[in-house]
Amino acid sequence: MLLSEPLRSFVEKAPVSVMTAAILERVFDPQTLERVFEENAQLQYTHELTFGQVVKIMSDVVYRATPSVNAWYATHGKELSVRRAAVYDKLNGLELPIGAALVRHSADTLLPCLQALPNPPAPLLTGYRVRVLDGNHLAGTEHRIFETRRLRAAVLPGQALVFYDPRYDLMDAIVPCENAHAQERSLLDQALALVAKDDCIVADRNFCTTGFLFGLRRRAAYFVIRQHSSTLHATLRGERRLVGADADGRNLYEQDLFLSEPATGETMTVRRVTIELLKPTQAGEMEIHILTNLPTTVNAFSVADLYARRWTIEAGFQQLTVDLECEIDTLGYPRAALFGFSVAVLAYNVVSLVKNALRAAWGEEYVAEKLSTYYVTLEVATVTPGLRIAVAAEVWSEFCTMSVPEFAALLLKLAQGIDKDKYAKHKRGPKKQAPKKTSGKRQKHHATAKLLAPSD
């Protein structure tokens, strides 16, 4: 198949785009997408515009193959049997569980492929699935909705809690919320429903509540969460014990903490790992306290290292915003904006599988230090339209019928054929000290040609 024309030309010149298109074809299996829609839709139904078509439209926007839904319709509208307004009506009405289910579908589809690649990443904590939990607020949208036009302030379409697997670089679940002003803690009951036995949840102190910690224990799960100063019913027990110093020279301490949940009468004792900082935080704190119910076989250094993994999700959020289009400012209605975010998370997972295939082919150092996600997504955005035109639909359908080992082997073969320099980062040198600038009060502008002209 890969040796047939015209796909062979793309394999030779743009293998990353072929990999991405093949993965998307596997994730966008029409029958599976319709099942995801039917099982999670509450009021919406399929009339002429299918859920699979909506997902593919949003995928093009997220990958920046087209600048907006409106631009997509201007180019491809004849492929649909509905008017432009019907596309927006469908987007604006998609219930939140549909987007959340789409993210879970992408993770369930791609995780077996990640695991089938050679030399998979080692587990961060043997016997547990480490998952980072954090919130992401969508940026303000354009004031296109009538009710927003009288406002100068930003209008925010919503937020989402995101579960992230740092081992496989996979965002495997989200909890979307239309109310951008809602406290993240109000979503924790929904987040608990997504936690499985032997999960180890890593989170910041905003998620350190009595109900959440005891809820995790009731689900036979574990936590590594920074202690909040005022959200727990807690009492310190015993003496604080010096464990030692970490690689950065910071002292680590351990102490038992007794927790109680007044609503149920439950109690538990957890370990509090304290990191003594070398310089204060922005809030002036010199210590960070991390709570965990992991067994003592997981020492304080491992607990501190797990908490440090929390920052990996921030890098993921940055890629969603910079490399992909997760915040579509032309979609003002909360449900449409949050669905766009869901498709962006799906796209992130697709790129993650591409990166893991490249890691299997070229090693961790290349992906971590040299690979530019920006150039990967840029190629996808520029090549995908031509790829779809040149390659027949029946060719792409073959990717859906491959077994997981066959598909993983194909991705590895494609990854081995890339030009590594094409996707390499271009690191800048050290910043030069900026020269002192004139105020500009007297002379408002200058002619560049005069500034560049040699002085007499």
For the chain, domain boundaries: 7-95+330-423, 120-320
pLDDT at 344 (0 to 100) = 92
Q: Give the integer Cα–Cα distance in Å for 213 and 39.
A: 31
pLDDT at 245 (0 to 100) = 93
Q: Residue 268: which residues within 8 A CB-CB, separation 6 or more?
A: 213, 214, 217, 258, 259, 293
Mean pLDDT by groups of 10 residues along the chain of 456 residues:
67 88 89 91 79 90 88 89 90 93 95 94 93 92 86 91 95 95 94 97 94 96 92 91 92 96 93 93 89 96 92 82 77 90 93 94 90 86 81 79 93 91 78 79 86 81
CA distances from 328 to 62, 283, 343 (A): 8, 33, 11
Buried b (16+ CB within 10 A) or exposed e, 382-410: ebbeebbeebeeebbeebbebeeeebbeb
- What are 368's two structure tokens? 């971590």
pLDDT at 4 (0 to 100) = 58
Q: Which of 166, 161, 107 lies closest to 338 in space, CA to CA?
A: 161
pTM of the model: 0.90
Q: How many CB atoms are closer than 10 A to CB 157?
A: 25
Give the CATH number of domain 120-320.
3.90.350.10
Q: Give the integer Cα–Cα distance in Å for 4 and 406.
A: 18
Q: Any bridge partners for residue 289, and if so which? A: 274
